[in-house]
A = this chain, B = another copy of it.
């Protein structure tokens, strides 16, 4: 593919939004599909990261009893109208198929923006007794939402995601599922993406259209903006009633099923980029890096080449035996500097250099992508050392991201103070903060935050900021502070 190596990456301090686009281009993750409005092409390196994300999540879903299935892309337009809030939330974003096989359709189809409606329809056919519950389904799919302002990975007209859809015999069980999946998202974000998150509940104004309550994980990007990284919805009996999902309970009475839905998407890749990457390009946490270690043989003469390349292959084989994903960059016609740059921009966590003098000395030079630290490491025991280093990088990345989150979380006691704290924060210039304030779960209060171009991101499930207080807008008593921030 076209090598764009010589193009520069805008420094973060100059323009964070431009930096983000540059990192994506230089790491060859994706490119805007200008001919398809708001869409993008996920290029091989970006797709390989997505495959790692899918593998990690899919395993967790299966371990908790969920099964994958696949429902139609096209949904009869009338289905959306069956749940009043749902249609209101999604109609402005729909792509509508009006022609099929050369003929105007009697009833148009919409391309799924999410699948609660079509899955609700099938749940009503599959569920008749408490014995059929819980029904735990997940779908990996593409969805389309007609977006006005798009940003690669973060908000695109089409995106890839998973959507879990479950049905339960009681609200208690449904709520337990909602929180279980939120917990899986949080554990994945922190343990695998090295991205600390705040688990919380959305305000009523910010919840999913059709849910009773929505739970979310919110992460802080390097510019201090919030990113909603995953959501899990307690749907109550709303879709159960809209789609007649009824079951006979243990007492022989008919009741509507209690449902949940939950999802994460390719947006996570945007969060990954903005959690760890630097002015030299992408930085990937080892647990999600499609390539964890790149060996770069260094040589001038042909006889040196054979020797260092052979050694690189032998050492890489040892690393592979430990379950590490390795590439030996023995491409001809490219100098070592080019190769260093290549793997650095693509976020490979560890680079191992081997030259003729290293072979003679029985050592290598190992470089960390995250902090740039270099060290000479003996070939004997290299595999174990690098394996340990990968674990260290993973935890260091999390540690740094967590410190940033802590350092940029502040308290505010009045609307004026919130306004002052957030006034200069933008996606481009940075300066965002997580502002913890007492604020009522009231659409009027959410609207006040919107005036500041901010929003109530969530009411954290664990209150670490001192309990009750008075709402900065209404003055009413509220049990704890909520998280307010500017967000993607």
The answer, yes or no, to whether A360 is at the interface (CB within 8 Å) is: no
Question: Which residues in B have their C-beta under 8 angstroms from that of A94?
Answer: 99-102
**Is the CB–CB distance between A41 and B68 below 8 Å?**
no
Known: A94-B101, A95-B100, A98-B96. A158 touches B74 (CB 8 A): yes
**Is the CB–CB distance between B68 and A47 below 8 Å?**
yes
CB distance from A95 to the nearest CB of B (A): 5
Known: A132-B2, A160-B70. A148 touches B101 (CB 8 A): yes
Copies per complex?
2
Q: A59-93: which residues lie under 8 A (CB-CB) from chain B?
A: 67-76, 79, 91-93
The answer, yes or no, to whether A35 is at the interface (CB within 8 Å) is: yes
**Is the CB–CB distance between A44 and B73 below 8 Å?**
no
CB distance from A102 to the nearest CB of B (A): 6
Q: List the one stretch of A122-130, A393-401, A414-422, A453-461 in contact with chain B.
A: A122-130
Known: A37-B100, A128-B2. A158 touches B72 (CB 8 A): yes
The answer, yes or no, to whether A383 is at the interface (CB within 8 Å) is: no
Known: A2-B132, A41-B122, A132-B1. A36 touches B72 (CB 8 A): yes
The answer, yes or no, to whether A18 is at the interface (CB within 8 Å) is: no
The answer, yes or no, to whether A309 is at the interface (CB within 8 Å) is: no
**Is the CB–CB distance between B135 and A1 below 8 Å?**
yes
**Is the CB–CB distance between B43 and A68 below 8 Å?**
no
Chain A's interface: helix, strand, loop or mixed, by majority? mixed
The answer, yes or no, to whether A410 is at the interface (CB within 8 Å) is: no
Q: How far is the CA of A3 from the CA of B153 in the complex (A)?
A: 41
Q: A366-412: which residues lie under 8 A (CB-CB) from chain B?
A: none
**Is the CB–CB distance between A102 and B95 below 8 Å?**
no
Known: A1-B126, A101-B148, A146-B101. A95 touches B67 (CB 8 A): no
Question: Which residues in B have their C-beta under 8 angstroms from that of A142?
Answer: 73, 141-142
Instruction: Give which listed residue, B93, B100, B101, contacts A101 with CB less than 8 A.
Output: B93
Question: Which residues in B have their C-beta under 8 angstroms from that of A69?
Answer: 41-44, 47
Q: How far is the CA of A142 from the CA of B142 in the complex (A)?
A: 8
Question: Which residues in B have their C-beta under 8 angstroms from that of A35?
Answer: 76, 79, 118, 121
CB distance from A327 to the nearest CB of B (A): 13
Question: Which residues in B have their C-beta under 8 angstroms from that of A102?
Answer: 91-92, 94, 146
**Is the CB–CB distance between B72 and A33 below 8 Å?**
yes
**Is the CB–CB distance between B36 and A109 below 8 Å?**
yes
Q: How far is the CA of A74 from the CA of B37 in the complex (A)?
A: 9
**Is the CB–CB distance between B97 and A96 below 8 Å?**
yes
Given contacts A40-B72, A44-B68, 19 further A-B contacts (CB under 8 A): A2-B125, A31-B125, A42-B70, A47-B69, A47-B70, A48-B67, A48-B68, A51-B68, A70-B160, A91-B102, A94-B100, A95-B97, A95-B99, A96-B99, A97-B97, A97-B98, A99-B108, A102-B146, A111-B111
16 example contacts (A-B, Cβ-Cβ < 8 A) are as follows: A2-B125, A35-B76, A35-B121, A36-B76, A37-B100, A39-B72, A47-B67, A47-B68, A47-B70, A73-B111, A74-B144, A92-B102, A94-B100, A94-B101, A95-B101, A95-B109
